[in-house]
Structure 1
């Protein structure tokens, strides 16, 4: 079966390759093969194959801890910095925003929608000019907009945050909510699953 190149960065072989690279290069710290596979929901064999390529070519370093291989980007490789910047721009929004939102109280659900979500799910088109962020709940608007501004710097494009209260999102009848729900969404945080299952 032929695997399509990802719409976010068609220079890569596959969406899975992009997700693996983004996790390794954009998530601070060391990560085992199992951790990477679990975090991005990609089979361990696929992650292992990609990490073997990256290790053999000097893009990542590995440290053994028992039976685990702990992976980090190679800071001495001259390609590390530009590759990290490229991944931040293309595959980075989900990783960067998930990390930023983890520090924000009052978030019941958060997702990226709009053109970036469409590209991330394989729809062809021009590179997204901005990132549309939906936050459901009652976060501090000041903190959220500061977070969006910080993320914009990393992602090199504006992050536009929209807040919807929990009841409006769950009802799904608001025209904006209905439109967003019909289109691709990349979920970042979901604390509403129990409410939806009730």
Structure 2
């Protein structure tokens, strides 16, 4: 089921297209297979294939076939490719960059973006968020998480506000009011390296 353009960046055709472009233009890899792209963008493989065909038709991406695999990469020859990359990195690319940064810290079980940024990402209208709120679940040290987030802040020019919550407290059946409030809001999971490998 296709959803309309998200409130975070309403100029794109659909939420799925935005996430696919975000993975391609704001990601670290040169090219991805359709299956890898679908997984990272959290869309069905058929949707990824269809969106890539549309994007290629309009010249935004380039693909090639090797055996049974179709590999896709951004079209960096577009005169505005770097500007598009900047927009995507500062919007949907935030989640991917946070995942890369936080994965290097020990004691991280899971992590989520919450607050106004997550609300915009999930399609709730409102003003563009000035910062990104991140909750890290596990036994990581807050100092280490903050240090990991600094590079993302510098690269994306966005303030990141991380908090760390112990797994037992996060999983409690009677959570503290602050944690209950976080869980009632939209949460955007941050994909960590150990999640990708499992």
Give 1:107 deviation, angstroms. Answer: 0.3
Report the RMSD for the aligned CA atoms in angstroms.
1.8
The aligned residue for residue 96 of structure 1 is: 97
Deviations 1:104-137 (A, max 9, x none): 2110120000001111111100001100000111
Q: TM-score if structure 2 supplies the norm length?
A: 0.88
The separation in 1 between residues aligned to 2:124 and 2:147, in whole angstroms, is: 30
Give 1:143 deviation, angstroms. Answer: 2.4
The aligned residue for residue 22 of structure 2 is: 22
What are structure 1's unaligned runs of at least 5 residues? Answer: 191-198
Instruction: Show the 5 A alignment for 1:177-192.
Output: 177-189=179-191
Runs of 4+ in 1 over 6 A off after TM superposition: none
Deviations 1:10-46 (A, max 9, x none): 1111111111111111222221111111233312232
The separation in 2 between residues aligned to 1:80 and 1:137, in whole angstroms, is: 38
Q: Does residue 44 of structure 2 align to residue 43 of structure 1?
A: yes
Q: TM-score if structure 1 supplies the norm length?
A: 0.88
The separation in 2 between residues aligned to 1:180 and 1:44, in whole angstroms, is: 31
Instruction: Show the 5 A alignment for 1:36-185.
Output: 36-171=37-172, 172-185=174-187
Confirm or deny: 8 A CA contact 2:3 2:16 kept in the other structure: no
Q: Does residue 10 of structure 2 align to residue 10 of structure 1?
A: yes
Q: Report the more deviating stretch, 74-83 or 177-186.
A: 74-83
Give 1:184 deviation, angstroms. Answer: 0.7
What are structure 2's unaligned runs of at least 5 residues? Answer: 193-198
The separation in 1 between residues aligned to 2:137 and 2:2, in whole angstroms, is: 38
Q: Report the more deviating stretch, 1-10 or 103-112.
A: 1-10
Confirm or deny: 8 A CA contact 2:138 2:164 kept in the other structure: yes
The aligned residue for residue 196 of structure 2 is: none
The aligned residue for residue 195 of structure 2 is: none
Confirm or deny: 8 A CA contact 1:62 1:69 kept in the other structure: yes
The separation in 1 between residues aligned to 2:63 and 2:150, in whole angstroms, is: 34
Confirm or deny: 8 A CA contact 1:3 1:13 kept in the other structure: no
Confirm or deny: 8 A CA contact 2:19 2:41 kept in the other structure: yes
